[in-house]
Amino acid sequence: MGGGITGLMTAVLLARAGKDVLVLEARTVGACATGNTTAKISLLQGSNLSKILSKHGKDTARAYVEGNREGQDWVLNHCASHGVPVQREDAYTYAQCRRGVASARAELKACQAVGLPVTWEDDAGVPFPYHGGVRLADQAQFDPMPFLDSLAAELLDRGGRLVEHTRVRRVSSHGKGVRAHVNTPGHGDLEISGRQLVLATGIPILDRGGYFARVKPSRSYCFAFKVPGDITRAMMISTDSPTRSVRYAPVDGGNVLIVGGAGHTVGREKSPTTALEELSSWARRHYPGAAQTHFWSAQDYTPIDQLPYVGPILPNNETIFIATGFKKWGMTNGAAAALALSSRMLGGRMDWSKAFASWSPHELSGALTAMQANVEVGFRLTTGWITPVTRTGRRDPGQDEGGVVSGPPWHLEARCRVNGSQHRVSPVCPHLGGIVTWNDADKAWECPLHGSRFAPDGTLLEGPATRDLTASH
């Protein structure tokens, strides 16, 4: 399940081994995280490694890097052999101001501890504030969609199947295998049986294993700008907030600048547009004459103990597998997950996969974080029912664009107006009953509990929910 980097890579690897493989995608290939990422294929990942090292020690941190390195190598080799364009550039983790220097220095030490050939650079030649940073040479970036297209083509060439616009509603045991209950346009509800199932859906849609409580959903945003004059070539990401992520992308007639940031926990930001306006102003200030060409957003999940969850959905279960918690570094983590999953399903083992285990003693280090996160979830659940939050600010969407949840707890209603059309739906998320809020940047309903997202008319977009918001009565 899932037509992103992890799902399609796993499918191709299994098909190469002669397995009969079917990929089900609820929307279209690349519609969620993979197709909307900044697509940095880098082993230098912000301040990620220093956090892993401090929690889990050198051996686990080294295993994490090795898994990412194998994932990176596989992606780059596949791109080279299939003619997918890749740009090789240096990656930087940098401090925007003095308070970010300590974090950048910690990342330098962590990288050195696990053998990454990093250097400290006092000057990166960039037009925005820079107070020193870590540099890792010869990393990579690309447009992920041609890569996904090449995976899909290989899967079909090897006899695999890919079905889009087909959403899995639930999964049940079936002898020694599984049965997926799916909904597909034109055919209604169907049942599909198989021996093994991989949930490569960003966050698992099955509640068994409680992964919805073990990861924190985050949404972040990107702008593309045409910039006169020189454009920053290196891939940059800041250690201090607000996060600034910068790279370029080749387009017909030159390059565009991609600036990312404005991240927030899904459903818990009063007005994401405010942070977006600040991000856009930052880009225009430091790149005079910048003209916006595109805007998009993506969602990812931060694990409670800083390490991804890849493997059986439950201990000793070799029937259903999951992959989640890539913490916005899916181009290498997603590829590593596919290598680990396919190897395990074929009877092999990756020595570094201990750093990606879905069930492991290392998760005890995140127990306090999990408790704090779920106290917040409980708070959001309660306040959502008692005090509906208006996401338009002050205006009723009956007159202006925007969305609002209103009414007494026994008859809440979510109303929005987008592009002149008004919609009324129940605000109750079908996953665990959270009350959705309105994202004024993405024009979507978001559940503040576990990150399910819905279109203005209530159509499910992504998340652990498997059904749409119901119509309002």
Neighbouring residues of 121: CB distance < 8 A, sequence distance ≥ 6:
92, 132, 133, 134, 135
Residue 398 confidence (pLDDT): 53
Taking the C-alpha atoms of residue 425 and residue 427, their distance in angstroms, rounded to an integer, is 6
For 30-47, what is the mean pLDDT? 96
CB 141 within 8 A of CB 235: yes
Q: pLDDT for 180-233, tens place per residue?
A: 999 888 888 899 999 999 999 999 999 888 898 899 999 999 999 999 989 999
Q: Which of 34-43, 169-178, 216-225, 280-289 has the lowest mean pLDDT?
A: 169-178
* DSSP reduced 3-state for 369: helix
Neighbouring residues of 96: CB distance < 8 A, sequence distance ≥ 6:
128, 129, 130, 131, 238, 239, 240, 244
Type of residue at 447: C
Q: pLDDT for 83-131, tens place per residue?
A: 999 999 999 999 999 999 999 999 999 999 999 999 999 999 999 999 9
Nearest Cα to Cα of residue 395 among 408, 404, 387? 404
**219 membership: H or E segment, kind and range:** strand 215-226
Binning pLDDT at 50, 70 and 90, where does residue 456 land? very high
Residue 49 confidence (pLDDT): 98
Nearest Cα to Cα of residue 39 among 135, 145, 153, 124? 145
Token pair 């079917």: residue: 22
Stated pTM of the model: 0.92
Type of residue at 138: D
Neighbour-count burial of 27, counting CB atoms closer than 10 A to its CB (0-12 exposed, 13-18 middle, 19+ buried)? middle
Render the burial of 300-320: b for 16+ CB within 10 Å, e for the rest. Answer: bbbbbbbbbbbbbbeeeeebb
Domains and CATH numbers, the chain: 5-147+211-359 (3.30.9.10), 381-462 (2.102.10.10)
Which letter does DSSP use for residue 139 in this model? Answer: E
CA distances (Å), 206 to each of 83, 136, 177, 203, 292, in order?
37, 38, 16, 9, 39
Nearest Cα to Cα of residue 442 among 428, 430, 453, 429? 453
Taking the C-alpha atoms of residue 140 and residue 138, their distance in angstroms, rounded to an integer, is 7
Phi, then psi, of 387 in degrees rounded to 5: -130, 80
Q: Where are the alpha helices (DSSP H) in 144-271?
A: 144-157
CB 268 within 8 A of CB 413: no
Residue 130 confidence (pLDDT): 98
Binning pLDDT at 50, 70 and 90, where does residue 397 land? low
pLDDT, mean over the chain: 92
